[in-house]
Structure 1
Amino acid sequence: MANSREGSRNVSREQSRNASRESSVSERASNVGLTTQLSKTSINESSTVINPDPSNTSFDEEKTQARVHALIEEYTENYSESTDRPVKEALEDLSLFRTPSLDQQAIIVRELFSNVFEAKPRARKAVGHLLDAALNDEIISTDAFTSGFKMTVEAAPDYAVDIPLIWQYIGEIIGAFIGAPTSNMSLIKQILQSAPDDKSKQLFQYIIRYATEFSSQSRIQKFWQTSGFSINDVLKSDLIDSSFTKEYDWLSDTPESEPSTPQTKENVSPRADSQLVKLFKSVNDQGTTVTDPEIIAYIREVRK
């Protein structure tokens, strides 16, 4: 009887062990299947996102710097105000190594500035025009330009050690950039906001000075008014006083239109040329006397 009970308990334990083993195997199989499924899902999801930000294209900074240096050397040597061919050729060269990377484009902008700080004024003007063309042709983006300019401004104190006129040179380049045919006056606020407070007013003065010199006062006035800015929009109020405002009132003044009156015989009063009168006197022969009024009358008749 005792043996019968013991055998029954053994059978029960064995069945329990088997059930436990089956449950464990089933659970492991389920986990493996789930892991495999998650792995496949992860692979599928990652394969759909190859490069979420194309602006992160890799580039070699040292090679970029070297290419810009070579480009500037050739471009500034060939630059001419009488033809846009050097600008177009420089843009073609720039397109060969420029990438979609905003970081690389910003470095290009920085290097364009820094490579002409110690060059002749003509080279700085040339770079201003090249920057204008690069933005206009979308070779350099506006964001990249702004970023590259900030990098230049941040390094300005270091440049100033050897180049005391660094802010004037920056203003000279931006002046050419602002006064270019396509006008970039809409960026002047961002440009000035990138400069330190103690330099922004001075930079504004340099920019307007060179923009007017490279273009004309009437064109810069037109560009300024088209931008919709006022002095208070681009400079902090504590930097502006009455004399400064008065100095740049012309930017916001209404352009004066010069009346064009066609010249006619009625409104043109002939005047005698004293040198011509002397000439007539010198060729008179001794036997003929020609008075001044007669000579003047003759000149008037010829000019009719």
Structure 2
Amino acid sequence: TLFCPSFCPQPGSIDSNNQLFAPGGRLSWGKGSIPAPGDVNGTGAESPVSWGGFWKGPRGLGAGQRLILVLPAVKQEPAAPAASPKPTLSEEELEKKSKAIIEEYLHINDMKEALQCVQELGSPSLLYVFVRNGIESTLERSTISREHMGVLLCHLVKAGTLSKEQYYKGLREILEIAEDMEIDIPHIWLYLAELITPILQEEGIPMEELFREITKPLVPIGKATTLLVEVLGLLCKGMSQKTAGKLWRDGGLSWKEFLPEDQDVNKFVTEQKLEYTMGGDSSDTPSCKELTSEELCKQMDKLLKENPNNQRIYDWIEANLSEEQVSSNMFIRALMTSVCHSAIVFENPYRVDATVIRNRAKLLQKYMRDEQKELQALYALQALVVKLEQPPNLLRMFFDALYDEDVIKEEAFYKWESSKDLSEQQGKGVALKSVTAFFTWLREAEDESDNN
């Protein structure tokens, strides 16, 4: 074992095994603990001494001989302080920012922008403040504002930005004082239901979990059923009694959970017309009210504007319209008018969003069961375009989309083209002229198909 003066300039001491130690040092040579001898900068470059202490450098060192160096402990420089994380907003700051986000969202209804702004708040443990502010700021506004706020909260929960715990906490802070607020806001339970219902309609939280959480502060004061009856009422309007009742039963819910112990459950269910929550057949469902054409169009417009999936529209139709109404020309025309109106992009010039027609194709096909119904749908589309003062090329775009999605077949288009029905002649001449190229193409395509 040899001594290397280039690494140990001070005389060392020899131990009983004739091994050399650097002055002030100790036997400590660990991989990675200090730079290898010769690697004075700690870069890991090749050095005369291998990283196990075996000498590779100067000639004359015998095989098996090794140099052991024990260097004084290297003084480590203190590590640079880590970059401080973005400071968490105080509750007061978050409340101020929340109000600004909510006001902007309710004004322009830009869901994507609102979701991003809430995410950028970066305070997941304080988002109950956002929930509380969202509810407070819409309680005395319009129904549309409350529904929009409810949809935003639902999307935040589904995106994972807002935890269910934070959602419940913000809602609970309002529910705990709702009974006192009832003096100034007599319809507060309906308004709260309008804020809560979207999260059930969009399947953000299961009914059984939501109902049991939101009623915790209400059961002791006897207000739990007041809120739940309002929520279920809105669900029945937006979906159907059948669907709402199934959600209740599938969740294992019972009115006993929410009523005072001394209250008769069956009497309560009968008085509130809640038999659909107890199971049984559709005899519990009240008879369908006959809607006028105007009322039907208005309801269809509302459903389509809320952009639910087609199943929710099927459910509403099943719950609110009789078979006779559904098979009527009035219903077909109302449905076609509402779907086509929702597909128009009101820019200059007007254009058709073919994606809307594609998404609603199955809805239209379900009720346009024959050529006569398809003809009625085309009459409704003609009337809509005439009402809009025949925007250039709009009818042609609709015809293309409806044909491409197999909503209207060739026979119905030809029947509309040749129809002489006097009640359907308003604007027919201009409409026909605007789709001349469509019918030319249709006939040529048919001829090619026959030849092939």
After TM superposition, the score normalised by the length of structure 1 is: 0.57
What is aligned with 1:250?
A: 276
Counterparts in 2 of 1:235 and 1:177: CA distance versus 1, 3 Å:
farther
- Give the Å deviation of 1:240: 4.7
Cα distance in structure 2, aligned partners of 1:218 and 1:69: 38
Q: Does 1:63 align with 2:83?
A: no
Cα distance in structure 2, aligned partners of 1:183 and 1:141: 11
Q: Does 1:116 align with 2:138?
A: yes
**Structure having the higher Rg:** 1
Q: Is the 8 A contact 1:183 1:223 kept in 2?
A: no
Counterparts in 2 of 1:135 and 1:209: CA distance versus 1, 3 Å:
same
- Give the Å deviation of 1:183: 4.8
Cα distance in structure 2, aligned partners of 1:184 and 1:193: 16
What is aligned with 1:4?
A: none
- Give the Å deviation of 1:239: 4.4
Give the 5 Å matches for 1:1-304.
58-79=88-109, 86-101=110-125, 104-185=126-207, 186-195=209-218, 196-246=220-270, 247-253=273-279
Cα distance in structure 2, aligned partners of 1:131 and 1:154: 19
Identical columns (%): 25
What's the RMSD between the two structures over aligned residues? 3.4
Cα distance in structure 2, aligned partners of 1:168 and 1:190: 18
The CA deviation string for residues 148-185 of structure 1, in whole angstroms up to 9 with x for no partner, is 11111123245334323222211221123322344531
More relative contact order, 1 or 2 (CA 8 Å, 6+ apart): 1
- Give the Å deviation of 1:72: 1.9
**In proportion to residue count, which structure has more helix?**
1
Counterparts in 2 of 1:180 and 1:73: CA distance versus 1, 3 Å:
same
The CA deviation string for residues 15-68 of structure 1, in whole angstroms up to 9 with x for no partner, is xxxxxxxxxxxxxxxxxxxxxxxxxxxxxxxxxxxxxxxxxx842222222222
Q: Is the 8 A contact 2:224 2:258 kept in 1?
A: no
Counterparts in 2 of 1:60 and 1:223: CA distance versus 1, 3 Å:
same
Amino acid at match of 1:60: S
Q: Is the 8 A contact 2:128 2:166 kept in 1?
A: yes
Counterparts in 2 of 1:70 and 1:217: CA distance versus 1, 3 Å:
farther
Cα distance in structure 2, aligned partners of 1:206 and 1:169: 9
Tell me the SS of whatever aligns to 1:194.
coil
Amino acid at match of 1:64: L
Counterparts in 2 of 1:87 and 1:216: CA distance versus 1, 3 Å:
farther
Aligned length: 203
Q: Is the 8 A contact 1:72 1:112 kept in 2?
A: yes
Amino acid at match of 2:211: I
Amino acid at match of 1:248: L
- Give the Å deviation of 1:87: 2.8
Tell me the SS of whatever aligns to 1:119.
coil
Counterparts in 2 of 1:239 and 1:67: CA distance versus 1, 3 Å:
farther
Cα distance in structure 2, aligned partners of 1:59 and 1:159: 29
- Give the Å deviation of 1:252: 3.6
Q: Where in structure 2 are there 5+ consecutive unaligned residues? A: 1-86, 283-314, 319-365, 371-421, 423-452
Cα distance in structure 2, aligned partners of 1:254 and 1:194: 31
Cα distance in structure 2, aligned partners of 1:213 and 1:76: 24
Counterparts in 2 of 1:216 and 1:94: CA distance versus 1, 3 Å:
farther
Tell me the SS of whatever aligns to 1:139.
coil
Query: Which has the larger displacement, 226-235 or 121-130?
Result: 226-235
Cα distance in structure 1, aligned partners of 2:111 and 2:280: 34
Counterparts in 2 of 1:227 and 1:87: CA distance versus 1, 3 Å:
farther
Counterparts in 2 of 1:179 and 1:236: CA distance versus 1, 3 Å:
farther
Q: Where in structure 1 are there 5+ consecutive unaligned residues? A: 1-56, 80-85, 265-278, 280-304
Query: Which has the larger displacement, 248-257 or 192-201?
Result: 248-257
